[in-house]
Chains A and B, each alone.
Chain A
Amino acid sequence: MPLNPREQRLALGLGIVVFLMLNLLLLPRLVAFNRESRRKNAELQAQVTAAHVWIARRDYWNERKAWLEKNEPTLHAAREESADQLEHFQKSARESGLTIAEVSLLQLPATEFYQPIGARLTVKGPWAGLVRFVSGLQNPALFNVIPRFSIRSDETPPDVQCELEVQRWFLTPARATP
């Protein structure tokens, strides 16, 4: 049954009202969705850009990773490593003309990246010998760290007295496992 003009106008008005109501309901959500999408995409784009930067330096990092894998020492037995370390200190001190006044082993906790084995020493002797001794301890390939180092004049100048803590950082067992 065809609608008369008044009914047509009413139907049109009703249609417009329903359309506007739907839009009032949906449009803010659509706008908010777009705003949120833009924000997320901007974050994602930043992450992608960062990833590109990292990957662009792939060779740089892989070269260092390969060097670490080749040179980082692996801990097999802590006790034996401590004994070897002490023996090395004594030998090196003797060769440098130093006297080891005190020595004590340290119990150090493992970290995510390394397992330290260390000792605290007090050595006395001539300045040149001390320099030779400490220089011999530190080399990137040895993975030795000296977190504490104190040097002062000895009671019998020109000798010096040095207190130091030496740690050797080994590859943690978890990382060492292929």
Chain B
Amino acid sequence: MVSMKTGHARNTLRPGKWLVPGEERWEIREPGAAPGAPPFRSIDDIHAAAPTPAVGIALVALPPQFVTCQLFWLDTTDEKAVPDLLAMQCERRALRRQEEVWQSRTVRREADRLLVQVLILQNALPAGLRVEGDARFEALPRCLELPRRSVCLWRTLGTMVLAITDEAGVLYFQSLPHQSLTPECARDVQAVVWIATEQGWAQSLESLVLMGTPEEGGAAALPALASLGLEVRRCPAPKPVPPAQPMELVPGSVQSLRKLRHRNRQIRRVASALAALYLVFLLSQIAMAVTQGLRHRRLQAEFARMLPEMTDLQNTARRIDALNPALDTRTYPVEILYRLMALLPDAGVRLTRFEITGERVELAGESSTAREAFDFLHAVQSAESLRHITWEEPPQPVPLPNDTTRFSIQGSITGAWHDAS
């Protein structure tokens, strides 16, 4: 037995048609239709309904063959203890089955005990019946306008059904194993009423109501029914009405179907999101292709417009680079020589050779001491006026027999004329 709170319970019923079991067959009815009004549509055989799911149905009224009603007196007034006590009671009566769902509500409160009504719903819907959408499920007797403080009898799907009502509504109902109101059926009704009276469920019952189409042979059962001491009367088939308190039971098969639909919706949502992402990616790629194409055309046009002038300027620069030795005064031999001589100390160092071959510059000289040679070479390498010449590391100055030191250094002229400008 599984207690389910499915979240589908609502105090108000959404508009739509109802799937209601009639005397012989399932019927699709407008809620609140007058008794005896023709059904919106009849389904001759619920098996025939299988290929066509009942879409758009707001409420399915399940006959007592599929919803069992039990009443329990519980020796407590603590509502919190009700579920555990109910579970024990149900287990004791072998009602606990995993494939069922159940719901309880307190129908009467006395000083030291509670009368609790338990509705137990079979896991599967009636064979072949498929209900799609967000339909609510109710026990049929709760959806009918039954007379109060009465024992009601009528036929549903070819089976006799009994319901006992008090001043608040349906107290108890059950399916009887009879297809018509026979004396045996009447004896079963007697038994149920006696049990109800004995156990104190039914108090102040006033009448026994035979509802629906009168049957041939029903008269034979009347004496037994009359022996209950209740006023026996007949009335038309009851009008479907919304129950005062909604039932929160959903058959397991419908729960599975709804879970499946929920999962399918999630899968569809994820698939849609992925498809949307892919579409965005695809569109962004296409947009990028278009944008890049337009940008390429714009850049090409801009470059083509500037190219002749840029080429002319570049040719001028190349020409000046090529003419640099004639134009850059810093590369003139006499200028380099002049700048070198400016670095010579007043005494102690003299130049013996100065050569320029292309970009190569070679310098040699003599000094009185090695220190003076080192100082001069260092001055040449670090001179700001000769920074357009890249000097190589000079060889070690060589002491000569005549108490002098010979030194040399080589370098390359670098730097363009216009760079220095």
Flag if B313 contacts A37 (CB, 8 Å).
Answer: no
Inter-chain contacts of B220 with A (CB < 8 A): none
Q: What's the least CB distance linking A86 to chain B, in Å? A: 19
Chain A: interface residue total (CB-CB under 8 A): 50
Flag if B355 contacts A150 (CB, 8 Å).
Answer: yes
Given contacts A111-B322, A169-B326, contact A52 B306 (CB under 8 A): yes
Interface residues of A in 40-65 (CB under 8 A from B): 40-41, 44-45, 47-48, 50-52, 54-55, 57-58, 61-62, 64-65
Interface residues of B in 312-361 (CB under 8 A from A): 313-314, 316-320, 322-323, 325-327, 329, 332-335, 337-338, 352-358
Question: B285 at the A/B interface (Cβ < 8 Å)?
Answer: yes
Question: A23 at the A/B interface (Cβ < 8 Å)?
Answer: yes
Inter-chain contacts of B352 with A (CB < 8 A): 152-153
Flag if A151 contacts B306 (CB, 8 Å).
Answer: no
Flag if A68 contacts B320 (CB, 8 Å).
Answer: yes
CA distance A118 to B307 in the complex (A): 37
Flag if B286 contacts A51 (CB, 8 Å).
Answer: no
A-B contacts, CB under 8 A, total: 123
Flag if A51 contacts B285 (CB, 8 Å).
Answer: no
Contact with A along B17-34 (1 / 0, CB 8 A): 000000000000000000
Q: Give the interface SS of chain B, mostly helix, strand, loop or mixed.
A: helix
Inter-chain contacts of B289 with A (CB < 8 A): 30, 33-34, 37
A-B CB proximity, top 9 nearest: A37-B292, A149-B333, A113-B322, A51-B306, A150-B355, A149-B356, A44-B299, A134-B334, A65-B316
Using a CB–CB cutoff of 8 Å, the interface residues on chain B facing chain A are 282, 285-286, 288-289, 292-293, 295-296, 299-300, 302-303, 306-307, 309-310, 313-314, 316-320, 322-323, 325-327, 329, 332-335, 337-338, 352-358, 418
Using a CB–CB cutoff of 8 Å, the interface residues on chain A facing chain B are 23, 27, 30-31, 33-34, 37-38, 40-41, 44-45, 47-48, 50-52, 54-55, 57-58, 61-62, 64-65, 68, 72, 111-114, 131, 134-135, 138, 140, 142-153, 164, 169
List 6 A-B residue pairs with CB atoms under 8 Å apart, sorted by A's residue number.
A61-B313, A112-B322, A114-B322, A140-B327, A152-B353, A169-B323
